[in-house]
Amino acid sequence: MKRLTLLLFAVLVPMVGYVVGYASAQQQVDRKGVASIVKVDQVMSGYLTELNGKYKLIVTEITFEPGGNIAEHHHVGPGIRFVASGELTLVGEGKTRTYKTGEYFYESGDVTTAAYNKTTSPVRIINFEILPADWKGGSAVPPKSK
């Protein structure tokens, strides 16, 4: 577990600075047939003292029903996604990519993406994200103009 935590910090922390651009008053992103359950919400503590109390690690299980989708969005912080079951189609940066059961992908947060379940079975993904310690609610926010 310590190795996984250190790996997550090493990969995700460089992108956390992006978070500063969003106010804590969160706007909603259009979504249909998507449900989220937070599994872990832990304010950081430990040897990475510069992060202690400022950020938290959130692990969320997200289910997309058949035809479910999240419209174009950014994320408040960076994260690694794991497709636990099904196939999730991600559209962003002029590319479409379908991720299948057992695959991982990374989202920096500052890239506009939309996610779709184009299949007839539910899709379940696990999101690992670093967010500001005081952030409330989901991490998907309307795209920020660059």
What is the per-residue pLDDT across 30-70, written as a single tens digit (0 to 9) for each? 999 999 999 999 999 999 999 999 999 999 999 999 999 99
The CATH number given to whatever domain includes residue 128 is 2.60.120.10
- Which range of residues forms the domain containing residue 119? 2-19+28-141
pTM of the model: 0.81
* Domain-located, residue 146: no
Q: Of 112 and 17, which is predicted with more confidence?
A: 112
State the Cα–Cα distance between residues 93 and 107, nearest whole angstrom.
Answer: 12
Number of independent structural domains in the chain? 1
* Domain-located, residue 101: yes
* pLDDT averaged over every residue in the chain: 88
| Confidence bin at 1 (pLDDT 50/70/90) | low
Which amino acid is present at 46?
G
* Domain-located, residue 80: yes
State the Cα–Cα distance between residues 146 and 61, nearest whole angstrom.
Answer: 30
What is the per-residue pLDDT across 81-98, written as a single tens digit (0 to 9) for each? 999 999 999 999 999 999
Overall size of the chain counted in residues: 146
